[in-house]
Homo-oligomer: A and B are copies of this chain.
Amino acid sequence: MRASVFIATSLDGFIARADGALDWLPGADGAGVPPSETGYDVFMASVDVVVMGRGTWDKVMEMGGWFYGTTPVRVLTSRALNITSQVPQTVAPLSGTPPEIVAALSREGFRHAYVDGGRTIQAFLRDGLIQRLTLTRIPVLLGHGIPLFGTLPHDVQLKHRRTQVLGDAMVQSEYDVLDAKLEA
A interface list, Cβ under 8 A from B? 11-13, 24, 125, 133, 135, 137, 139-144, 148-160, 163, 165, 168-171, 173, 175
* Residues on B with beta carbons closer than 8 Å to the beta carbon of A170: 160
* Residues on B with beta carbons closer than 8 Å to the beta carbon of A169: 159-160
* Residues on B with beta carbons closer than 8 Å to the beta carbon of A154: 143
Contact B155–A141 (Cβ < 8 Å)? yes
Most central of A133, A141, A156 by chain B CB within 10 Å? A141
Most central of A125, A150, A155 by chain B CB within 10 Å? A155
* Residues on B with beta carbons closer than 8 Å to the beta carbon of A144: 151-152
Closest 3 pairs between A and B when the two form their complex, measured CB to CB: A143-B152, A12-B149, A139-B158
* Residues on B with beta carbons closer than 8 Å to the beta carbon of A175: 11, 139
For the complex, what is the distance from the CA of A169 to the CA of B160, rounded to whole Å?
Answer: 5
Contact B173–A157 (Cβ < 8 Å)? no
CB closest residue in chain B, given A168: B160
For the complex, what is the distance from the CA of A12 to the CA of B156, rounded to whole Å?
Answer: 10
Query: Which of B137, B141, B155 contacts A149 (CB under 8 A)?
Result: B141
Min C-beta distance of A3 to chain B, whole Å: 15
22 contacts between A and B (CB under 8 A): A11-B135, A12-B148, A12-B149, A137-B173, A139-B157, A140-B156, A141-B152, A141-B156, A142-B155, A143-B149, A143-B150, A143-B151, A143-B152, A143-B154, A143-B155, A144-B151, A160-B168, A160-B169, A160-B170, A163-B163, A163-B171, A171-B171
